[in-house]
Structure formats: structure tokens, C-alpha cells
Amino acid sequence: MAEEQKITEDRLKKIVEKLYMDMQRGEVPSIVLPTRTKENIQHNTDSNVWTYGDRESVRSFKTVKGAKNLLRMVYTIHFLTNEHLKKNRSSTLRELYYISEGWDLAKFSEQLESDRLIEDIEILTELQRERFHVRPEEDGASIFGPLELREHMRRGDRKIHCQDDVGEAGYPIPFNVDNLEFVSCDAKFVIAIETGGMYARLIENGFDEKFNALLVHLKGQPARSTRRLLKRLNEEMGIPVVVFTDGDPWSYRIYASIAYGAIKSAHLSEYMATPSAKFVGVQPEDIKKYELPSDRLTDQDIKALKSELTDPRFNTPYWRYQLKLQLELNRKAEQQAFAGKGLDYVTNTYLPERLTELGVL
Amino acid sequence: MAEEQKITEDRLKKIVEKLYMDMQRGEVPSIVLPTRTKENIQHNTDSNVWTYGDRESVRSFKTVKGAKNLLRMVYTIHFLTNEHLKKNRSSTLRELYYISEGWDLAKFSEQLESDRLIEDIEILTELQRERFHVRPEEDGASIFGPLELREHMRRGDRKIHCQDDVGEAGYPIPFNVDNLEFVSCDAKFVIAIETGGMYARLIENGFDEKFNALLVHLKGQPARSTRRLLKRLNEEMGIPVVVFTDGDPWSYRIYASIAYGAIKSAHLSEYMATPSAKFVGVQPEDIKKYELPSDRLTDQDIKALKSELTDPRFNTPYWRYQLKLQLELNRKAEQQAFAGKGLDYVTNTYLPERLTELGVL
């Protein structure tokens, strides 16, 4: 940990040194960053995830806006180094915004600015914000299943078995999952689940025990910590990850953010994405095959599906077929719709069938 | 537990028996329920909480709508008795809606109907829905502090210390907190906290250890399980509860729902409300006193404050003063705004001062 902290401190310092050296040389201090737009996202064939491309934008002291921005960066780096790293403290993104109250000219005028600045620092240091102890407001995703881990806490280490040492709600994932060490994992696969209702259903039905599965509750669009945890389980423990969501375009984006990365955090895709993650469903074809209770697509759904047909992440024969089929059927179905066939149907019939098809069982 | 289940089964059966007896006597089957509106909320001086008044509405077979409603109730009671209670299973409110797929005429046309029906059954049985194993979609609130509890799980009992046996995210509150038994509690008081950021701040700053406090993260408007847990801690362990939220009209409602009960669940106020719960802040007067970074009130804020001035739950000298002061100041402040004065200010200065004023420290 001490070595990691040294690296973080050095990289933060390097940003400020660059600005200082510019001034020493009599140049206008500036910083170069990749442009963070959809147009500048490209597939990295080596790592099989989506990252930023070559387009760049420059921040410099040439304009008042640019100068203010760099001034804030220097203040922020000073705070992160002296208050966070040296004292082993942390803050939320919201707190960081308030902390700038005493920074005079460098004060942020809204949280959007401080959030974005933290992203800039992530890109410049090539380190995720957890490394300099900045955390999100809420998390709340959780795990249940045959995994034993050690959590390095401020108050010492805790060894926790995510099936035997936890209550019915499971083990809540902390904001910095790099503080977790996997002690042992007997799971054959990880199943990441969109809704709390389905996560509780699988626990109640003993799915984790029967199929040796590690259940991860995503809580909708998964937080960075959840995606990072899935990536680490896949990479370090060598267990396959499957994703089980509702059958609508918004849920396919949940899958895509796990498998390929999200636009907002494309600079961290290699750190957070799990390209081998497989999509269990609900697939559009399942709506017909399993005669699921379903709803008509809304205009927003149709727009989202059409936008996915032009999204490079969904440009595969499988996804093109499913997305087109859904537009044709004009229906969507939720994962909890399986309850219409009885409380055991999803764990006794649907999931075993789909997991066999995917080669996981 | 077996005895409790017997009571639940008997009360469910009684509803159906009443309908059956009506028919036997040649009468039109009907059921009487209190009207669930703001106008029918009244203060119960015995228990000091807000409950439903005398206004009633009748459901009967006289209309097709009424007949369908009672048919659904009979189907639902059949399901709850045979699938949930006899087999020790549970479902989410969402699943329950889907389960009605096979009920032909009794099928719910939207979840609003099944949710409301479950509330009707709660009122008729005078039991909370957890007793017949119906759970909400998400929960996610959590505890951190000197409390040891035993959770009765489907898979046996678990003894968990909410400070020593959990990670940095704490112990997640399960949906049915009546499955929890308090083994021991060394806490001097419980502090219920609105935001995840402040909950994490108090843990990081060691507030639980220094002040012997049990921290409860509310996650915004608290779930029933969270309110029930606060009530039980207050009543069974005899420890005072204080509430720490943002300083805006929406947050005062969080406090009111904990202390006095919410309109939507007024039939369960005596079971869930903690009338002795005290409001720590952020108080409107704190904005001036502590010179907090603050924002101008929006039109919605002003409307909400004015509505609170006519809400019987806020009709006390204390609240009338604070609400009027806030309208005068035309400012609001978040609890994380204390970060503007340094990361320790809230735990070293603000909370000790306020808790001393409240007589808790």
C-alpha cells in the first residue's frame, strides 16, 4: 500500500511540475487532455474494450477560464496530497466541491466542475480516483455467495465470507474495492443481477448453493466499484461473469457498461470492463419463447433501441438480431416477469437453460 | 415464530370468512376501510403519532369494480397463505403483480393496484406486510456501530456485530427487521443520517467510537424497514434517536416520517414512528450561526416550506420558528456543506455542540 501511495503522490506532483516547468521556460502553462465525447471513443483491439481516441483538447493560461481551471487543479492536487494521502483521509465528490469554499479565486462554482476536474486528474495520472481517496455519494451494491475476502479497513483487516458471515442482504461492496483481497472463491461463475427483487429471489431459492454461483446485485446502472469488482473476480479468480437484466434497451446498456466500458469513464475501461462478460437475458427472443408477460415499447424505448443499432458496442450479429427482433415484436419484459410462471421458474428452468446455452453450466 | 405465523394466517382467513358469511346471510359481500387521505390523518394523543381518523370507504360486490377488487383480495390471500406462509417463501411487490398473470379475471392491470391491495390487507389484519412475506424492491440502508444482533435467516441464525464483523460499508438492513434480535447494544444514542457521504464521514472520523454512537444511513427518504429498526432500537434498547439531514424542506419531511409517521403508511405509525426522535439539523438557524455555504431557495422549496407551515406535524413553536426563519433567510444548506470548514468540523464542533444542546451528550 505504501508503494502504491508513493506512485499516486508522484504522479500528482508531476502534473504540477509540468506547469511549473512551463513557467520556468517562459512558456504559457498548459495541459493536454483527450476529448471526452462519443465521437472520440474507439475500440482497443488489444484489450477488447472501448477507450478514448486521438482527439485532444488543451487547457492553458491563455484564457481566464483556462487559467482558473488550472489554478483549481493545483489547489485540488495540493488538497489531495496533503489532506488525503498524507493523512489517510477521504472525501466524497460533494465534499470536495464544498472544500473549495476557502480557495478564493479557485472556488468551484458548481459540483459539475469539481467532478470533471477529478476526471481530468484521473486521465493525467492514469489512476482511478479511488487511489487519491475520492469517493462517490452512494454505493449500495452487494454480493452473496461462496467468496471469502479480506477487507483492509482504516481500523484493521476483516475476513468476511459472503455466504456464511453475512445476513440476508449480503455483503455491501465498499467504495474502493482495491482494498479487498480475495482469500478464496468456490464459485463456478458470477451472476450480476439488475434488480434487488431478482437478487433476493435467487438468494431465497438457494441458487448460489445449488449452482455454486456468486450473486452480485448491480442496483441498476452499476457503480464503478461494482464494475471493478466484477473485473477483478473475472481476472484474478478466473471465473466467468454473466449479466442478468430486464429485457429493454436501458438494461442492454448496463450489460455494455460492464462488458465494454462506459463513455463517461472510457479512460478507465481497461481497469473496469470485463470483455468476456456474457449476456444471459432477458433477451428479446425470450419474450416469445417463454411467453413472458410483457409491455409495449414506448417511444423512448424505440429511440434507444435504434440508437443502439448505431452504437459500435452493439455492432455484432447477435445484438443486431436481438435489437431488430425487439423492434419487430414491439414488446419488452422485466426479469421479475418470470414470477408469472411461479416463484421457482426462473431458477429451475430459465437460468439453467440459458446458462447451459452459454456454456457456463 | 410459529405462533406469529398462526396469528397472521388467522387474520388473513378472517377477511375471507367475513365475505363468505355475508353471502351465507344473503347479503352483498363488503369490506370497510379507513379513507387514506391527508384529510383523514389525526394525531393520536396516546401514542403521540399520526394515524387514520374515522372516515371510511366501503368496497362491495355492488359494482363490477368493487367485485373485481374483492376477487383479487381473495386470490391474493390464497396466494399469501398457501405459497408464502405455508412454504416460508416471499415475493417482492413487483413479483406479486406478475404472479396474478394466471388469475384470469382477478389479474391486476398495473402494480399500483396490487400495491394498494397489500396496504388494504395490512389495514384489515392490523399487521405489516412483512408478516405475510411481501418485500419492497430495494432497500440498501445500513448500520455501523456498537450493536450486536442475531439475524434469523432462512439458512439459520447469524450473530453479527455491526462494528467488528462488518466492512467499511456497515451492516445492510434486511427487509424484515423483525427477523432481527438485539443481543447487546453499547450505544448511547442512535444518529440517523440522510446522505451516504455524511455516514461515511462519521465512520472515517471515528464518531461511532468516540461518542459511542450507532450510525444509521437513511439513504434519503427512509424505507419502512429503516424506520421500524429505529423504533425498535428506541423502544427495546431504550436509546435516544436523533436525525441529521440536509437543511431544506424535503429533509424535514424525512425527520417527520421518522418521528410522526408518513401519510402513506399511517395505519402502521404506531409500529414504525419514533415520537421521541430529535432533529439535530441542519437547522435554518445553523446556516447563519455556522456560516455555512448555502444556496438560494427554489420556488419548489418555498412552496414546500409554506405547505409545512400548515402541516399539523410541524405545528410546534420550534418548527414554526425554523420554517419562518428559513423563508426569511431564503437559503438552504446541505449537511456535507460542513466540509467547507474542514473534514473534522462536523464531528469535532457541530455535532458535539448540537447534541449537547439536545441533552443527548
How many angstroms separate the CA of residue B203 from the nearest CA in chain A? 10
Q: What is the pLDDT of residues A243-254, one digit of tens each?
A: 999 999 999 999
pLDDT reading at A352 higher than 90: yes
What pLDDT sits at residue B286? 96
Q: What is the spatial distance between Cα A332 and Cα A125, in angstroms, rounded to a whole number? A: 42
**What is the average pLDDT across B122-139?**
86
- Is residue A140 scored above 70 in pLDDT? no
A336–B95 C-beta distance less than 8 A: yes
Over residues B338-342, mean pLDDT: 89
* pLDDT tier for residue A42 given thresholds of 50, 70 and 90: confident
Q: Is 80 exceeded by the pLDDT of residue A38? A: no
What share of chain B in percent tops pLDDT 70?
99
Q: In A, which residues are within 8 Å of B110 by CB distance?
A: none
Say whether pLDDT at B54 is over 90. no
pLDDT tens digits for range A121-134: 999 998 989 899 99
According to the model, what pLDDT value does residue B1 have?
Answer: 64
Structure confidence at residue A194 (pLDDT): 94
The answer, yes or no, to whether residue A203 has pLDDT greater than 70, is yes
Topology at the third CATH level for domain A142-357: Dna Topoisomerase Vi A Subunit; Chain: A, domain 2 (3.40.1360)
Q: Residue A271: its pLDDT value, please?
A: 87
pLDDT-above-90 percentage for chain A: 66
Q: What are phi and psi of A220, to 5 degrees?
A: 70, -145
What's A84-141 look like in SS3?
A: HHCCCCCEEHHHHHHHHHHHHHHCCCCHHHHHHHHHHHHHHHCCCHHHHCEECCCCCC
Average predicted confidence (pLDDT) for chain A = 91
User: Is the distance from CB of A150 to CB of A158 less than 8 angstroms?
Assistant: yes
Using a CB-CB cut-off of 8 Å, the residues of chain A touching B92 are 196-197, 200-201, 336
Report pLDDT digits (tens) over A51-91. 888 888 888 889 999 999 999 999 999 999 999 999 888 88
A98 counts as catalytic: yes
- B124 to chain A nearest CA, in Å? 26
pLDDT of residue B39: 76
Q: What is the pLDDT of residue B184?
A: 95
Highest mean pLDDT among A132-141, A314-323, B44-53: A314-323
For residue range B227-245, what is the model confidence (pLDDT) as tens digits? 999 999 999 999 999 999 9
All three cell numbers of B188, joined, read 448511547
On the question of pLDDT at A307 being above 70, the answer is: yes
Q: Does residue A1 register a pLDDT over 70?
A: no
Q: Does A254 touch chain B (CB under 8 A)?
A: no
CATH class of the domain comprising B2-135 = mainly alpha
Region A28-45 average pLDDT: 83
Q: What is the pLDDT of residue B264?
A: 73
ipTM over 0.90: no
Q: Contact B169/A170, CB-based, under 8 Å? A: no
Residue ranges matching CATH 3.40.1360.10 in chain B:
142-357
Say yes or no to pLDDT of A359 above 90: yes
Q: Where in chain A is the domain with CATH 1.10.10.10?
A: 2-135
In 3D space, the residue among B296, A106, A105 whose CA is nearest the CA of residue A96 turns out to be A106
Per-residue confidence (pLDDT) for residue B74, from 0 to 100: 95
Look at A175 and B166 and tell me if their CB atoms are within 8 Å.
Answer: no
In the predicted model, what is the mean pLDDT of residues B304-323? 92
pTM, 2 dp: 0.88
Mutation target for A interface from B130, B343, B345: give the one with most A CBs within 10 A. B343
Average pLDDT over residues A170-193: 93
pLDDT digits (tens, 9 = 90+) for B191-231: 999 998 899 999 999 999 999 999 999 988 898 899 999 99
Query: For residue B38, what are the β-bridge partners?
Result: none
